[in-house]
C-alpha cells in the first residue's frame, strides 16, 4: 500500500472496473485487487482445518493470498498462477521476504499454464479461483481443475457477483 512504484501491466482477465489504462500504481493494485485480511484468514483457516496439502491459486497478483495459503504449513505446497510477468516478480519478492519456500509462481495465461501444472500435480485439495472473471473462462478452468479434485477437495470461486456471467458460471458449476 505504501509503494510508490508504477507498473506497466497487461490485462489478462475480464478487464477492470477500476483502471482505465495499463499503467498502475502498486498501491492502487493493493487497494483494489487483493483479497481482504478477513478473506485471507478464511482461506488460511479452511486449508488448515481441512488439512489441504496441494493448493492451487489462479490469480497471484502481489502474492498476498498465496502467502496466507503457504503459511498454513511448510509441508503444504502452493501452486499459484499469474499472467503478468512484472506482477509475478513482485509476488515472488513478497514470498521471499516472508521466507516462504513452499510456493511456486507460474507466469503465463491460465489457459496455457494450468494444464501443464495440473499434469505435475497428483491431486488438488484446495483451489482458489481469483482471476479472469468471465463465465466461460471460469467454467473451463473449473472443468480442468476438477479432473484432479477428489470428494474432499474445496473450490473457492471469488467475485461471483462481479457480473451476471459470473453468477451464471457458479450456478452451472454447481450442477457438475
Ligand atoms: C484479483 S487478482 C488476484 C489477487 C490475489 N489472489 C490476492 O488476493 O492477493 C487477479 C490476478 O489474476 C491475473 N489474471 C487474470 N486473468 C488471468 C489470466 N487469464 N491468465 C493469467 N493471469 C490472469 C491478473 O493479472 C491479476 O493479477
pLDDT in tens, 30-48: 999 999 999 999 999 999 9
Which residue, among 162, 169, 158, has the nearest Cα to 135 in the 3D structure?
169
The helix or strand, by DSSP H or E, that contains position 8, with its residue range, turns out to be: strand 6-8
pLDDT at 19: 45
pLDDT at 22: 83
**Distance from residue 136's CA to the centre of ligand 1 (Å):** 16
pTM for the whole thing? 0.94
Total domains in the fold of the chain: 1
Domain assignment present for residue 21? The answer is no
Q: Is the CB of 141 under 6 A from ligand 1?
A: no
CA atoms of 90 and 86, how far apart (whole Å): 7
Candidate from 55, 61, 140 with most ligand 1 atoms within 8 A of CB, to mutate = 61
pLDDT at 137: 95
Domain assignment present for residue 29? The answer is no
**Distance from residue 83's CA to the centre of ligand 1 (Å):** 7
Least-confidence region, from 7-11, 36-40, 61-65, 140-144: 7-11
Q: Crossing angle for the helix pair 135-146 and 110-120, nearest 10 degrees?
A: 10
Domain assignment present for residue 19? The answer is no
For residue 109, what is its C-alpha cell?
495465461
The helix or strand, by DSSP H or E, that contains position 124, with its residue range, turns out to be: strand 124-129
Domain assignment present for residue 9? The answer is no
Whether the per-residue pLDDT at 21 is higher than 80: the answer is no
Mean pLDDT, the chain, whole residue set: 93
Whether the per-residue pLDDT at 20 is higher than 70: the answer is no
**Confidence grade of residue 8 (pLDDT, cut at 50, 70, 90):** confident
Domain CATH for 43: 3.40.50.150
- 40: containing domain: 35-174
**Distance from residue 128's CA to the centre of ligand 1 (Å):** 11
Amino acid at each position: 500500500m505504501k509503494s510508490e512504484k508504477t507498473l506497466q501491466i497487461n490485462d489478462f482477465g475480464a478487464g477492470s472496473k477500476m483502471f482505465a489504462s495499463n499503467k498502475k500504481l502498486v498501491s492502487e493494485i493493493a487497494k483494489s485487487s487483493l483479497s481482504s485480511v478477513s478473506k485471507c484468514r478464511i482461506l488460511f483457516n479452511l486449508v488448515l482445518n481441512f488439512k489441504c496439502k496441494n493448493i492451487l491459486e489462479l490469480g497471484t497478483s502481489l502474492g498476498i493470498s498465496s502467502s496466507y495459503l503457504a503459511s498454513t504449513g511448510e509441508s503444504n505446497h502452493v501452486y499459484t498462477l499469474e499472467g503478468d510477468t512484472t506482477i509475478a516478480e513482485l509476488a515472488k519478492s513478497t514470498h521471499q521476504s516472508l521466507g516462504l519456500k513452499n510456493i511456486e509462481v507460474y507466469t503465463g495465461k491460465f489457459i496455457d499454464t494450468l494444464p501443464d501444472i495440473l499434469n505435475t500435480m497428483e491431486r488438488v485439495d484446495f483451489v482458489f479461483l481469483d482471476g479472469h472473471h468471465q463465465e466461460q473462462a471460469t467454467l473451463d478452468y473449473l472443468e480442468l481443475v476438477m479432473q484432479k479434485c477428489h470428494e474432499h477437495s474445496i473450490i473457492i470461486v471469488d467475485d461471483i457477483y462481479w457480473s451476471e456471467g459470473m453468477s451464471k458460471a457458479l450456478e452451472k458449476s454447481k450442477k457438475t
